[in-house]
């Protein structure tokens, strides 16, 4: 028996790691869910649950199940192939391609695990990396909304 959030996260990771230019994506994706940046192949992604909320109204709670929304952050890291005159801006091109790839992926596969109704893009932010690495001067945090239901008496079952 696998928990619904675990199955959603695993399916998201598998889908991201499968993106490549041969399938029409802009980039060949590398590592997924490796927290040690030194071990990552770029572009990389880390999938992190930020919040999960039950959106049932108290006076109209669905007796058989929970109606859930989870907010996910997918952190994307990329690296330049060559030294650039202004690396802080050159990396934006790769991060933009990565964002387009993720939007396409979850636009097509919006219910990746069969346990969620939809994965929706919410926004992105580029962040200057404080380590002053000229090959990886920025990374990007993307935000995603995942909607799903759970059976109240057995939350491992999608309802």
Tell me the pLDDT band of 134, cut-offs 50, 70 and 90. Answer: very high
Q: What's the pLDDT at 76?
A: 98
Decide if pLDDT at 118 tops 80: yes
153 burial class (0-12, 13-18, 19+ CB within 10 angstroms)? exposed
Tell me which architecture the domain covering 4-151 has in CATH. Answer: 2-Layer Sandwich (3.30)
Strand partners, 74: 47, 142
Decide if pLDDT at 49 tops 70: yes
**Rounded to whole angstroms, how far apart are CA atoms 84 and 42?**
17
Strand partners, 64: none
For the entire predicted model, the pTM comes to 0.94
pLDDT digits (tens, 9 = 90+) for 84-117: 999 999 999 999 999 999 999 999 998 888 889 9
> What stretch of H or E contains 118?
strand 118-128
Answer for the pair 45, 16: CB distance below 8 angstroms, yes or no.
Answer: yes
Q: So where are the chain's domains? A: 4-151
């Amino acid at each position: 028996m696998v928990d619904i959030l675990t199955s959603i996260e695993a399916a998201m990771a598998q889908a991201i790691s499968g993106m490549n230019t041969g399938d029409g994506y802009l980039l060949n994706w590398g590592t997924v869910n490796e927290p040690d940046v030194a071990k990552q192949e770029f572009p990389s992604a880390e999938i992190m649950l930020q919040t999960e909320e039950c959106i049932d109204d108290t006076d109209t709670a669905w007796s058989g199940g929970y109606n859930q929304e989870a907010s996910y952050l997918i952190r994307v890291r990329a690296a330049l192939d060559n030294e650039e005159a202004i690396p802080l801006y050159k990396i934006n091109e790769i991060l933009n391609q990565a964002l387009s790839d993720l939007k396409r992926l979850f636009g097509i596969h919006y219910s990746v695990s069969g346990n969620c109704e939809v994965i929706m893009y919410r926004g992105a932010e580029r962040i200057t990396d404080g380590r002053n690495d000229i090959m990886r001067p920025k990374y990007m945090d993307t935000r995603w909304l995942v909607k799903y239901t759970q059976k109240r008496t057995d939350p491992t079952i999608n309802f």
